[in-house]
Structure 1
C-alpha cells in the first residue's frame, strides 16, 4: 500500500512539472504555429530558419492566458495518471499472486519453476504489456479530455473546461466511442515500444556486456533506459497519430481545417502524415527547423 501511494505521489509530481512541456508539444503536434519563424543557429553553428522552441512557445501561451494557462488540462491528466498507476499495479499484483499459488502447487509443496533468462523476459514483458494495456484502456477517456482541453487554445473555445462537463459533451456528441478516439495507435505504440525496449535490453545485457566484470552490472541498469529511449523514438509516430485522432473533427478549430485535415481513420492519418513528411512533428521542442515546402497556419495568415 505504501509503495502504491508513493508511486502515485511521485507520478503526480512529475505530471505537474511536465504539464507545460506536454501542452506545448500537443499544440505543435496538431500543427499550430502562432509565431513566425526566426533566423537562428543549429547545433553545428550554421544559420537556419527555425520555428520557436519550447520556451518561446510557452511564453506566448503565458502572455495570453497567464502562467496558470500553461497548466490547462492538468486535472484530467492527473486523474489519468493516478488511475493508470492503480490499475497497472493491481494487474501486476494479480500475476504475482498467481505465481505464488503455482509455486506452492497441490499440497502446499513448492515446485521447481526455474526458467531460462529469455523465457523469463518473455513472461515479464507479456505481463507488463497486459498491465499497461489495461491501464491505457481505462484511462484513455481522460487522455482524450486532456488533449481537447489543450487544443481548444487554438480557437479560444471553452467547450472542454470542466471534467464532468467534458464527459457529458463527448457522450452527447460522439457516444461511448468518442472517449476512445485514437486508442488503437496508442495501444500499438505502447506494445511495440515495450517489446522493442525489453528485447534490445536483453540482447545488450546478454551478448554485448560481460556480467563477470563488476562495473557491467551498473551498465546493465543503464541499458534499459537507453533502449527505452531508442524504442520510444521509433514508435513516436504512433503517439502523434493517436493524439491527432483524439482531437480530429471534435468540434474544435484545432481539429478541423485549415489547421488539421479531417481523417477517416488512423491509417488515413498515418498515410497522410507520411506523405507530407510530418511523422516526427512535435518530436523536437528546441531545434525546430522549418521543413522545406511546408505550410503552417498562424493566426489567419499563412507562412510558407
Structure 2
C-alpha cells in the first residue's frame, strides 16, 4: 500500500538603487504603464501565517522594495490550505501590479499535483516575477526527546512505532512532504500534525507536545541556536554554513530525503509585462546586495542562482517553476500523496 505523503529571521537589505526609466510605448495596465509604477501602495500577500520563513522573507523584500520604489509594500497574511488560499487571492486579483504574491514551493509547485482538481488556480493564472531565496529544510526535535542524531531518531521511532508526532506548518507544504519522505526512506511511522504556520508549530515542539518537526531553516535557526530546539539534519546536499555542525540527511544515511525550499514573487497572469520586468529587475538588484546576503546567509539562505551572475529574472524564474512542478508532481504520484 502506498504511503500517503503531503508535500510542501530576519534580515535587512541594502544596496545601490537601480535606475529604471520609463520607456515610450510600454504596455498599459490598470491605467498604469511601468514608467509610472507604482503610483500607490502595493499589497504583498503571504499565503502562510506570520513568523514563518515565507513571512520573514516577504517582510525583508517589502522593506527593500518600499525603499527602492518609493511606495509602501504592505504584507498581508492569508493562510490556509497549504498556501492555496492566499495564492488564489492573488491569482484572481486585478492584474495591475498592485497585488503580488510571495510564492513558495508548496503552493507554487507541489500543490498542483497534490490537490489535483481541487486546486482553485492553475500555473497559467500566475506570472513569475523573480526568485528571492532558496533555503534548506531542517529536521529537529524537542529537547526532551532522548535522541541527538537522525540515526537515533530513526532507531527510537522503530522501537516506538506510532508513538511520535511530526509537525509541519501545514498539510500539503514542502515541510510536510519532507517529513513524509523521511518516514518513507527510514521505514518508520510517525503521526503528522499540521499547523497553520511555523510559529504555532514550533511553540508546540518547544513545549514538548509535538516531538519531531520539519521547518525551513531561517524561521527555525534562532530557536536552534538558542538551544530551544535540537537540530538533527538539514535536507540539502551540503551542510549549511549557518549550522556547520549539523549534518545532512545524506550523511545520516538517508540521501533520498533531499528538499530545498524556495520563495519568490508572482503576480496575476495578465499583469502588464513592463511592470513584471520592472519588479523583476528590482528583485534581482536586491538579491545582489552584499548586506542582504551577509545576513541571509547567516540564516541559512542561498542565492537564487537562476542566471549566470547568480541572480534572477522573470523568464528564468518561469522555467524554474515549471521544472519544480514537474519534479514534485512525480514525487506526489510515486508516493501516493494526498490531503484530507
Using the size of structure 2 for normalisation, the TM-score is: 0.22
**Greater RCO, 1 or 2 (C-alpha within 8 Å, sep 6+):** 2
The structure having more radius of gyration, on CA atoms, is: 1
Higher normalized helix content (fraction of residues): 1
Higher normalized strand content (fraction of residues): 2
